[in-house]
Structure 1
Amino acid sequence: MEGSVNLERQDRAKRALRILLVCVFIAMIGLGIVSPIMPIYASDLGATGVWIGLIYSSFSLSRALLMTPIGRVSDVRSKKKIMCLGLGAYALASILYVFAWNPLFLTAVRFIHGVGSAMVIPVASAYVVELTPKGEEGRYMGMMNMAMFTGFGVGPLIGGYLTNLSYAVTFYAMTALISVSLLLTLLFVPEESSLNIEKKNKRVPSLRVVMLNKRLKAIFIYRLIDAFGRGSIMAFLSLFANQTLGIPLPTVGLLLSIGILANSLLQTPMGIIADRHNRVMLVVAGGLIGSAGYLYLYLSSNLVNLITSRLIVALGAAMSLPALSAIAAEEGKKIGPGSTMGLFNTAMSTGQIMGPIISGVLLDLYDIYTIFEFTALVCIVGVILFYLITRS
């Protein structure tokens, strides 16, 4: 009798996981739609290099401010309700993009967009952690990463072509997708209590306790610096491809999608590998490969070079991220999944704040190629720091 109850519970947990991954996938398509057009849209509104950096960073600023406290709240409150509120903020921001008339207003909309994101992705990740069987952290977090990256990879492909119609059509499509994700979450994502998931952490651990964990400290530093690099490249790659190399916007969308989709396809198999091999060394190897991809951008002069660079970076990310996520998930089961994944994603957002702003300054002072050199160097430093901290 007890065995049949456990099997039924496992079936419900797997069904909840599938629904959650579909909702995240659709939401990330909506987010990815705007990625190839945002720097060009901002430039058309009169934004300089620094303004473009600020516009990108405002999204990450609100995420960085809110993800850790929201993650901590999700350890004791309903994750489903928090996600629904976040998707509502997503939908509001999607509509407001249509009415942006200058860089300042666009920056404010990006900030609101970030508020919604802070309530969706880290909370969904924490939910997945609670559904994960012991010893399968890499596989389950790999599936979560695959849902995110596949959605985010399909988005630019759609956005690049919709922009041929108008910016407004792109933003309306984004609104529609976010609304679908909100509806699916409301109707089909179960409350944790229905899956017999108890809120174990009635007292949320202090940030000091979380940061005293040496593995989490190493993860925070690596994730911050890695996101610094990704934020820099995502903010200015489409500008470089379109305005420096003369590549049309639909092709720019394809370029962004190729790298993200290649990354997503490798997430689940690399997650399984992360469950069987040394996770620290997978992170180190992936970080060095990704840095080589950023450096190759400096040598790029055509579309083939850019695609090659994107694929190198994707391979590095596919090696490092599932292993890094698995380490975070393992620690999250001890401390609290919401607190841990909130911190994990806060590190990412902090890096994404710093990267575009510093890169914007480099663009205004020097040229866009300097961004690629600097990014590669910073990411190599991040790999070294991660290795030294985990080794100690």
Structure 2
Amino acid sequence: MLSRPFLVLGFAMFCATMGLGMVTPVLPVYAKSLGATGTAIGLTFSAFALTQVFISPFSGRLADRFGRKPFLVGGLLTYMAAAVGWYLTDSVVGIIAFRALSGVGSAFIFSMALAYVGDLAPNGREGRYMGVFGLFDFIGFGVGPVLAGIVRDHAAIEDVFLSMAALFTVASLLVAMLLPKTVEIAATGLDGLRLTRPPVPPWGVVLRDRTVQALFGLRASFAFSMGASFSFIAVYLEESLAVTATMVGALLAAQQFAGGLSQPVLGHVADRLPRRTLVVVGAVMVAAGYSTAAFSTTYVIILAGFILGVGVGGALFNVAGQAVQVEVGRTLGMATVASLQSMAYAIGILAGSLGGGRIVEATNVRAVFALGGCFILAGALFFVLHTRTPRVAAPLEGEPAG
């Protein structure tokens, strides 16, 4: 498992997600200090989704035909440019515009990385590979908020953006210099049999696949709950509970660390137990975690809810879903399926953030956390109902798909 491509991808994603983790709690607070309203604050979190929605499907198709590496490097450099833009701008419009630019990077980075890992993962070990890879992802997102809080408490908030730009520069160099252009497709099982990359089927075949549809709904619901909740968690904690920026970063970091450290173990679980069941269990845990912010005003209770519910529950939810994603990607195009998940994520983030902003303006900030919990439960139900019938895999080599 710990091959050179896997480790290079892992450390590059660690740097990238650390940068993203730094900016997550900062942009809403920075925008509010510049006079942003609830809807505008939501856009500072979700504007990237506008560009990601339109670019993601095409990036995946192109990557399945021409390779992942150029798109991955391009995505990392785009995020670096967005970070520099945030450092230079002093308006809410500028913040939102560069957030939209970062959506181009999002469309490339994560779907390409997951496609690489999917190529490396053998049958029956999808959960383990995704679980270990998720460790880099979660830990990076966990370290980021802590660093952002420390920078904010000891320097200017704009310096967070310079730090983010430096991290994306390191990630870009790692991928450009050390990641092989192509990787060998993983074994179909433990017998060592190797596959050639299958032809990419037409869009109609991909979009009619019920498992692809189920995964799309699942990912969109998770992103909706995240967009609705994470757009306002920092503002809620700082303004309503009067906690420090470091405490906000600590909560976000603890949630990520809990999820990241549990990912490898949960990956093994996802290879042994029914993945549909694990998705439901994870969704219930996440919903319970968000409910602590909806119904409690005690920082310690919210911290515990985010660690156990959003962190560990979210890790279980994601690793089980991603293992199914790899299975489907083997026949429908690994990057194509991953990019559709990226598109679903963008749609969910956009709808959740904007919807959350309207909810805050109409009611109160605590209502968005209850809304987030309800949506992830609805997504898990959709996934289970849509995957009741076992999927018949398309042919692997050259035969007509469908």
Would the TM-score normalized by the shorter structure come out above 0.5? yes
Provide the rounded CA distance (Å) in 1 between the counterparts of 2:375 and 2:77. 36
Task: Give the aligned partner of residue 250 of structure 2.
Answer: 254
Q: Is the contact between residue 26 and residue 177 of structure 1 (CA under 8 Å) also seen in structure 2?
A: yes
In the TM superposition, residue 201 of structure 1 has moved relative to its aligned partner by 4.7
Provide the rounded CA distance (Å) in 1 between the counterparts of 2:124 and 2:9. 21
Q: For residues 326-347 of structure 1, what are the alpha-carbon distances to aligned partners after superposition, in whole Å with 9 as ceiling and x for unaligned?
A: 0000110111101011111211
Task: Give the aligned partner of residue 58 of structure 1.
Answer: 47
Task: Give the aligned partner of residue 331 of structure 2.
Answer: 334
Q: Does structure 1 residue 176 correspond to structure 2 residue 205?
A: no
Of residues 11, 20, 27, the one that matches 1:22 is 11
In the TM superposition, residue 220 of structure 1 has moved relative to its aligned partner by 0.8
Provide the rounded CA distance (Å) in 1 between the counterparts of 2:204 and 2:259. 34
Q: For residues 348-378 of structure 1, what are the alpha-carbon distances to aligned partners after superposition, in whole Å with 9 as ceiling and x for unaligned?
A: 1110110010000010111111112222222
Q: Does structure 1 residue 244 correspond to structure 2 residue 240?
A: yes
Task: Give the aligned partner of residue 80 of structure 2.
Answer: 91
Task: Give the aligned partner of residue 368 of structure 1.
Answer: 365
Provide the rounded CA distance (Å) in 2 between the counterparts of 1:243 and 1:344. 34
Task: Give the aligned partner of residue 35 of structure 2.
Answer: 46
Provide the rounded CA distance (Å) in 2 between the counterparts of 1:126 and 1:14. 15
Provide the rounded CA distance (Å) in 1 between the counterparts of 2:367 and 2:85. 34
Provide the rounded CA distance (Å) in 2 between the counterparts of 1:179 and 1:134. 34
Q: Residues 272-291 of structure 1: matches in 2 within 5 Å?
A: 272-291=268-287
Q: Gaps spanning 5+ residues in structure 1: where?
A: 1-9
Percent identical: 31
Q: Residues 131-170 of structure 1: matches in 2 within 5 Å?
A: 131-164=120-153, 165-170=155-160
Of residues 213, 217, 226, the one that matches 2:213 is 217
Q: Residues 220-235 of structure 1: matches in 2 within 5 Å?
A: 220-235=216-231
In the TM superposition, residue 168 of structure 1 has moved relative to its aligned partner by 2.1
Q: Does structure 1 residue 74 correspond to structure 2 residue 74?
A: no
Q: Does structure 1 residue 208 correspond to structure 2 residue 197?
A: no
Q: Is the contact between residue 76 and residue 199 of structure 1 (CA under 8 Å) also seen in structure 2?
A: no
Q: For residues 58-85 of structure 1, what are the alpha-carbon distances to aligned partners after superposition, in whole Å with 9 as ceiling and x for unaligned?
A: 1122222212210111101121111111
Q: Which amino acid aligns with 1:380?
A: L
In the TM superposition, residue 296 of structure 1 has moved relative to its aligned partner by 2.1
In the TM superposition, residue 135 of structure 1 has moved relative to its aligned partner by 1.5
Q: Is the contact between residue 76 and residue 201 of structure 1 (CA under 8 Å) also seen in structure 2?
A: no
Q: Is the contact between residue 5 and residue 183 of structure 2 (CA under 8 Å) also seen in structure 1?
A: no
In the TM superposition, residue 170 of structure 1 has moved relative to its aligned partner by 0.9
Q: Which amino acid aligns with 2:206?
A: V
Q: Which amino acid aligns with 2:82?
A: A
Q: Residues 316-327 of structure 1: matches in 2 within 5 Å?
A: 316-327=313-324
In the TM superposition, residue 150 of structure 1 has moved relative to its aligned partner by 0.9
Q: Which amino acid aligns with 1:213?
A: D
Q: Which amino acid aligns with 1:185?
A: V
Q: For residues 148-169 of structure 1, what are the alpha-carbon distances to aligned partners after superposition, in whole Å with 9 as ceiling and x for unaligned?
A: 1111111001011111201221
Q: Gaps spanning 5+ residues in structure 2: where?
A: 187-193, 390-402
Provide the rounded CA distance (Å) in 1 between the counterparts of 2:44 and 2:358. 13
Q: For residues 103-129 of structure 1, what are the alpha-carbon distances to aligned partners after superposition, in whole Å with 9 as ceiling and x for unaligned?
A: 111111001111112111110110111
Task: Give the aligned partner of residue 391 of structure 1.
Answer: 388
Q: Is the contact between residue 139 and residue 260 of structure 2 (CA under 8 Å) also seen in structure 1?
A: yes
Of residues 375, 379, 382, the one that matches 1:378 is 375
In the TM superposition, residue 55 of structure 1 has moved relative to its aligned partner by 2.0
What TM-score do the two structures reach when normalised by structure 1?
0.93
Task: Give the aligned partner of residue 127 of structure 1.
Answer: 116
Task: Give the aligned partner of residue 343 of structure 1.
Answer: 340
Provide the rounded CA distance (Å) in 2 between the counterparts of 1:195 and 1:88. 27
Provide the rounded CA distance (Å) in 2 between the counterparts of 1:94 and 1:373. 32
Provide the rounded CA distance (Å) in 2 between the counterparts of 1:276 and 1:216. 22
SS at match of 1:272: helix
TM-aligned CA distance change 1:332 to 1:101, over 3 Å? same
Provide the rounded CA distance (Å) in 2 between the counterparts of 1:84 and 1:107. 23
What TM-score do the two structures reach when normalised by structure 2?
0.91
Q: Is the contact between residue 290 and residue 372 of structure 2 (CA under 8 Å) also seen in structure 1?
A: yes
Count residues with an aligned counterpart. Answer: 380
Provide the rounded CA distance (Å) in 2 between the counterparts of 1:31 and 1:174. 7
Provide the rounded CA distance (Å) in 1 between the counterparts of 2:329 and 2:248. 38
Provide the rounded CA distance (Å) in 2 between the counterparts of 1:119 and 1:309. 32
Task: Give the aligned partner of residue 352 of structure 1.
Answer: 349
Q: Which amino acid aligns with 1:334?
A: T
